[in-house]
Amino acid sequence: MQIAICPGSFDPITNGHIDVIERAASIFDKVIIGIAENVTKKPSLGLSDRIELVKNACAHLENVAVESFDCLLVEFAKRNQANIIVRGLRAVSDFEHEFQMAQLNHKLDPSIETMFIMASPKYAYLSSSAVREIAKYGGCLTSMVPENVEIALKKAFSQVKY
């Protein structure tokens, strides 16, 4: 069985993430979406919220599971018997960072490979940070995130005082 990990903070999950996950799910027997806890970042959505939003967004994919992790990505992959890390790329600027991370992960565990999936053109502009910025100012997110994510973001940012 070929198991792949799709890691990220998913703060929030976007339609671009879902596109990459769907495409990975069509290639691999099982895809585990690894939601990084990353205590160094201050997410706009809590970990339990992100887990539920991702589960809901990917409920239509039978071979996809969602788990959180707070360790090295290669350790999370080994714990789940995965030997592939799937990363989405939107632009050349993404490649530089992702290439460096892939090399570091390979150094830590040469048995784990990284596979890049290019963003579909209709999502190449989309990022979680842009979605958060639009949500912060009450902009329309309809074509960028699933409806449940838009509702959660509106709720989260309506409680923030600037």
Instruction: Compute the distance between CA of residue 73 and CA of residue 105 in angstroms, rounded to an integer.
Output: 8
The single residue of 17, 50, 87, 132 carrying the catalytic annotation is: 17
- d(C-alpha 132, C-alpha 135), whole Å: 5
Q: Side chain identity at 131, as an amino acid letter?
A: V
Out of 41, 60, 97, 155, the active site residue is 41
Determine the 3-state secondary structure of 136 from DSSP: helix
Query: Which tokens hold the place of 156?
Result: 């989260």
Burial of 92 (C-beta count, 10 Å sphere; 0-12/13-18/19+): exposed
Give the DSSP letter of residue 122: G
Active site residue 97: no
Cα 100-42-49 angle, rounded to 5 deg = 100
Q: Catalytic pick from 50, 87, 90, 132?
A: 90
Residue numbers annotated as active site: 17, 41, 90, 128
